[in-house]
Amino acid sequence: MRKVHVLVSATGLAMTAGVAMAAESTFDNHLTSTPMVSPAQIYQTQDLKTDFKVGYESAEGTTKPDGSSSMTATDKTNDLFAAAIYNIHSIGLRAGVALDFGSSNTEQESIDPTTGVKTKDKIDGKDMVVTPQAAMPIGPVVVGVAADFHQVTAKPDGVDEKKGSYNTFRPGVLFANKDMEAGVTYASQTNTNESDPDKISFNEPAKTTLHGRYAIDRELAVGAILADWHFKDLNEDLYKDQTRVTGTVEYGFGAVKTEGELGYRSAFYKNKDAISEDTIGMIDVGAAADYEVTKTAAVGGALGYEFGSDSGNGAKYSANTFNVAVRGNMKF
């Protein structure tokens, strides 16, 4: 199943006047927060900021053919994230690196069409992502760039370990002032078909994302994210592009900061032959609460849930994902 992380968190709103390049930023979020979709948004860093997160995700997809028993696929993932961003004041450049390590256990049931016997395949996987990133003001906007370097391993039961790697390039442009920000970001496509049986093939669509948010007052901000995932470019006979729409809200009261989201992503199968628990439409909800221990440190937690169902091609399909995370940051 395709895993989509819904990690929401907030360190609060520092509502001081100024633009993106000023001494204080209006928005100040953890790097894994839902509104943080562009590398240009690291303009928020004022001096040195470090983020960390420990997360767990459980995903399940079910296929129920008409007149037959259901088949279930499960994926359980543990995730560790750490990042550091530094502000080079002399030139206004923010730069840093993020490390994200995930280990997963996947189980996939299947039914032999001749004997009707159900079997289960298991795969243990690891994904290490190193992401250098930078953002710098140029005229009235902030230009950001990031590159995700993935190193992936997969170990199916009874089969030698497979390895693979791929890279994603993510530029972004952002306009921000004292009470709003708006921008666009892009992520490059990966579509490899390895002939070597010991290597992993990857199929990740390109993504174009528009995003914006507005601070209504000192405590409340609302935002929207509109993304187009270009699945059609991977296989135009099977897929169409997927639209993802997410609304966000951030609210702070005292030392406690909260964030919520509600989102929808459309099904991207072009015809019923391509329908599966991976390609159906989904709804996601998420919430988080964070506590400022000091003016320079915060800790918090986040929950997310996604669900969806569809039918076609003689079967019913459903999927759901639950994730939980604890996270924190420190500023120097």
Task: Specify if 49 maps to a domain.
Answer: yes
Sign of CA dihedral 138, 183, 215, 285: negative
Whether 4 maps to a domain, the answer reads: no
In a domain, 29, yes or no: no
Tell me the pLDDT tens digit for each residue of 76-116: 999 999 999 999 999 999 999 999 999 999 999 887 777 77
User: Per residue in 138-147, pLDDT tens?
Assistant: 999 999 999 9
In a domain, 276, yes or no: yes
State the chain's mean pLDDT as an integer.
89
Q: Specify the number of domains making up the chain.
A: 1
Instruction: Report the distance separating Cα 95 and Cα 144, nearest Å.
Output: 9
176 in any annotated domain: yes
Where in the sequence is the domain holding 217, given as residue range(s)?
Answer: 39-331
Question: pLDDT per residue over 227-245, tens digit each?
Answer: 999 999 999 999 999 999 9
What is the pTM (predicted TM-score) of this model?
A: 0.89
CATH code assigned at 243: 2.40.160.60
Query: Do the domain assignments include residue 43?
Result: yes
Question: 311 - beta bridge partners?
Answer: 316
- Is residue 31 domain-resident? no
The answer as to whether 62 is a domain residue is yes
Q: How confident is the model at residue 169 (pLDDT cuts 50, 70, 90)?
A: very high
